A and B are shown apart, each in its own frame.
Chain A
Amino acid sequence: MFNKPALKGAIALAAFACVAWPHMASAQNSAQVPAKGSANEAATELVLAQGADPLGFNPTRFSAPNTSYLHQLYDTLVEIGPDGQPRPSLAESWERSADGLSVTFKLRPAKFHSGRPLTAQDVVYSVRYHLDPANAANLLARLSAVKDVEALDDRTVKLTLSSLAPGLYDLLSALFILDEKAVVNMAQQDAGSGPFIMKSWTPGVSYTMERFADHWSNDRTKPDRITVRIVPDDAAGAALLQTRAVDVLYTAGPLALAQLKDAAGTKIERIKRAPRSHYLALNTSRAPLDNKLVRQAISHAINRDMIASVVYNDFAAPSCQPWAESHWAYAPAVDKLCGYDLEKAKALMKESGVGPFTMTVNTSTDSYAPGSVDTAQILKEDLAALGITLNIATYEPAKARELILGANFDMLLHNYIEGGNDPQFIIPSAIYGPTKGRTKFTSPAFEALVEKAGKTLDLNERKAIYADISKLIADEAFMLPFAHEFRPIPMIDAVKNFEMDGSGFSQLQQVDVTR
Chain B
Amino acid sequence: MFGFILKRLLQAIPVLLITSLLIFVGMRLSPGDPATMLAGNDATAETIAAVRSRLGLDESYATQYVKWLGALLMGDLGRSMVSGLPVSRIMGERIAPTLELAFGGLLASLVLGGLLGTLAGLRPDSLFDRLISAVAALGLAAPMFWTGMLLVAVFGVSLKWLPPAGRVPFSQGVGGALASLAMPVATLAIANAPVIMRFLRDSIQETRRAEYVRAAHAKGLSRTVVARDYIVRNSLIPTVTASGILLGNLIGGAALVEIVFSWPGMGSLLVSAMGNRDYSVIQAVLLIAVFGFVFANLVVDLLYGLLNPRIRHAQH
Contacts and interface: CB of A to CB of B under 8 A. Distances in A.
Nearest to B173: A27
Interface stretch (B16-24, B133-141, B154-162, B244-252): B154-162
B208 to A, nearest CB: 15
A405 B47 CA distance: 11
A40 interface: no
Interface stretch (B81-89, B101-109, B194-202): B81-89
A24 B177 CA distance: 8
Contacts of A20: 174-175, 178
A405 B48 CA distance: 10
A274 B54 CA distance: 33
A24 B173 CA distance: 10
Given A31-B163, A231-B165, A397-B275, A243 B156 contact: yes
B133 to A, nearest CB: 20
Given A25-B179, A399-B31, A233 B259 contact: yes
A136 B160 contact: no
B33 A398 contact: yes
A436 to B, nearest CB: 9
Most B CB contacts (10 A, CB to CB) among A26, A61, A203, A245 go to A203
A113 B57 CA distance: 34
Instruction: Sort chain A's interface into a size bin.
Output: 35 or more
Contact of B83 (A30, A53, A202, A231): A53
Interface string A394-405: 011111011011
B94 A24 contact: no
A24 B182 CA distance: 9
B194 to A, nearest CB: 21
Interface string B59-74: 0000000000000000
A138 interface: yes
Contacts of A53: 83, 272
B275 A367 contact: yes
Instruction: Sort chain B's interface into a size bin.
Output: 35 or more
A387 interface: no
A187 interface: yes
Contacts of A395: 31
Interface stretch (A158-166, A234-242, A277-285, A452-460): A234-242
B227 interface: yes
B37 A52 contact: no
Contact of B153 (A28, A56, A239, A416): A239
Interface string A447-476: 000000000000000000000000000000
Given A20-B178, A133-B46, A245 B161 contact: no
Interface in A473-496: none
B217 to A, nearest CB: 15
Given A56-B83, A56-B84, A134-B54, A236 B32 contact: no
Does more than half of chain A's interface fall in helix, strand or loop, or is it mixed?
loop
Contact of A430 (B35, B42, B89): B42
Most A CB contacts (10 A, CB to CB) among B46, B83, B157, B160 go to B83
A205 B93 contact: yes
A231 B262 contact: yes
Contact of A401 (B37, B45, B54): B37
A327 interface: no
B163 A32 contact: yes
Contacts of B48: 136, 405
A122 B167 CA distance: 40
A236 B165 contact: yes
B227 A1 contact: yes
A205 B264 contact: yes
Contacts of A103: none
A54 B80 CA distance: 12
B43 A405 contact: yes
A202 B93 contact: yes
A235 B33 CA distance: 29
A33 interface: yes
A240 B160 CA distance: 11
B32 A31 contact: no
A254 to B, nearest CB: 15
A311 B48 CA distance: 33
A1 B122 CA distance: 10
B163 A236 contact: no
A62 B163 contact: no
Nearest to B228: A3
A187 B85 contact: yes
Contacts of A141: 42-44, 47
Contact of A27 (B153, B165, B176, B261): B176
A28 B160 contact: yes
B161 to A, nearest CB: 6
B223 interface: yes
B168 interface: yes
A140 interface: yes
Contact of B85 (A25, A203, A397): A203
B296 interface: no
A24 B178 contact: yes
A140 B51 CA distance: 13
6 contacts: A24-B178, A28-B163, A133-B47, A205-B166, A239-B156, A243-B164
Interface of B: 30-33, 35-48, 50-51, 54, 79-80, 82-85, 89-90, 93-94, 149, 152-153, 156-157, 160-168, 172-176, 178-180, 182, 223-224, 227-228, 259-262, 264-265, 268-269, 271-272, 275-277
Given A27-B173, A133-B46, 5 more contacts: A22-B175, A242-B157, A243-B163, A398-B275, A405-B39
